[in-house]
Structure 1
Amino acid sequence: MRKCARAWSFLFSVVVWTIWESMNEKVFKDGAANVSQAEDMVCFRVAWWFKNLGKGSSDSITTLIWKIKEGCINSTITKSRKAVEWVPPPNGSFKFNVDGLTRGSPFQAGIGGVLRDHKGKVLFLFSNNIGIHDAVTTEIMSLAKACFLCLGKPELCGKIIEFVSDSMLIVSWINGRGIESIKHFQMIYDLHNQISSIDHARVVYCSRASNSFTDMLAKQGFEGGREILSWSVF
């Protein structure tokens, strides 16, 4: 990956694009600048472009992300990085951040998610358009997708998995604090049972600022229309 000029040729444009997005988030949405999340976005975009728009690669997108990070490990930016808002899970456990996005009327929806280990290594990510849904349904479906994928992966059997969403409403419903929506009752009930079937799994809330990489995956799914599913080697 270090010697691939084509992959690194994308880097300047991707960095400029990501900085522009981060500044918009800070100025127009009163968000907080987050160097670690911006770095994740740059790595994902370079990997995706290289995989889909370049000459292609036999590596998965998650493996390419890890190789890009290794290629940057000696950079001054990495060395001077300040404390990050994304907090890794305890040693030997996993954190699965998810997010959903809706736009327009009727609402077109996209979902995204990223699974990381205690070292912050990206093990899996998904991004896809799910059609027309309201915002609450979209957030529920992002969690349901993550649960479904974990249940289908034997390597995660018996592991501690923390599912993370920036929707305080959905997290409170999943954790049994009363479902106020009749429309979404069955979906929440089914999702609660699905999560309960995973040993040592729980659902927690996080701020939007610490979930920006997953937000970008949801936007990619919304805009791209094409599903992205990429596992790395455990």
Structure 2
Amino acid sequence: MITKKKIILDWNPPAEVHFKFNVDGSVLGKPEPAGAGGVLRDFNGKILCLFSCHLGCLVSNAAEIWVIKVALGLCISNVNLRGRAISIVNDSKVAVSWVINGDFGSLAHFNIISEIHSNLKILGDVEVIFESRAYNSYVGSLAKMGSNCAGDFVEWGDV
């Protein structure tokens, strides 16, 4: 008998004095209701911000770009995060590549990615990176809540 092992990976913390904002987009079809969710933590794993929101009807790549935009907007809204080292971590290689390289293939995403680039300049020491979905399951649940129109929320802790 063959047994399957499920590997559960813990959250991977950022370097000391850095912040990590794990984000995820979720779409319930193609295109269907989309949502975004995220968790901002410090290097000790302390949760500083949680969010979930509905994005309307989108395709998956658009939802993954929008969630990066939402996270950056939240960082800008909190003056204590400006100039701080923050990693925005997404589990979509395509979305991260589009943001980093500016090669997004469709003019439909031009305005969103332009706004992301502007927000990155405002914040300073912020990077957008890809990390496997295995590290992002909690954030995926928040994104699915947004897809299901379960109610938008943002909750801040002490930053």
TM-score, normalized by length of structure 2?
0.90
Corresponding residue for residue 225 of structure 1? 150
Q: Distance in 1 between matches of 2:137 and 2:6?
A: 10
Instruction: Identify if the C-alpha distance between structure 1 residues 106 and 157 changes in structure 2 by more than 3 Å, giving closer, same or farther.
Output: closer
Q: Distance in 1 between matches of 2:93 and 2:117?
A: 15
Q: Distance in 2 between matches of 1:123 and 1:93?
A: 12
Kindly indicate whether residue 63 of structure 2 is the aligned counterpart of residue 138 of structure 1.
yes
- The 3-state SS of whatever aligns with 2:44 is coil
Q: Distance in 1 between matches of 2:104 and 2:56?
A: 24
Give matches, 1:76-225, under 5 Å. Answer: 84-104=9-29, 106-176=31-101, 178-225=103-150
**Segments of 4+ moved more than 4 angstroms:** none
Point out where structure 2 has 5 or more consecutive residues left out of the alignment: none
Q: Distance in 2 between matches of 1:158 and 1:217?
A: 27
- The 3-state SS of whatever aligns with 1:119 is coil
Q: Distance in 2 between matches of 1:205 and 1:184?
A: 19
After superposition, the CA RMSD in angstroms is 1.8
User: How many residues are treated as equivalent by the alignment?
Assistant: 156
Instruction: Identify if the C-alpha distance between structure 1 residues 92 and 182 changes in structure 2 by more than 3 Å, giving closer, same or farther.
Output: same
Report the CA distance between 1:134 and its aligned residue.
1.6
Corresponding residue for residue 81 of structure 1? none
Q: Distance in 1 between matches of 2:137 and 2:18?
A: 21
Q: Percent identity?
A: 37
Higher relative helix content: 1
C-alpha contact (below 8 Å) 2:30/2:60 kept by paired residues: no
Higher relative strand content: 2
Point out where structure 1 has 5 or more consecutive residues left out of the alignment: 1-26, 35-83
C-alpha contact (below 8 Å) 1:109/1:133 kept by paired residues: yes
Report the CA distance between 1:186 and its aligned residue.
2.3
Corresponding residue for residue 17 of structure 1? none
Larger radius of gyration: 1
Report the CA distance between 1:161 and its aligned residue.
0.5
Report the CA distance between 1:148 and its aligned residue.
0.4
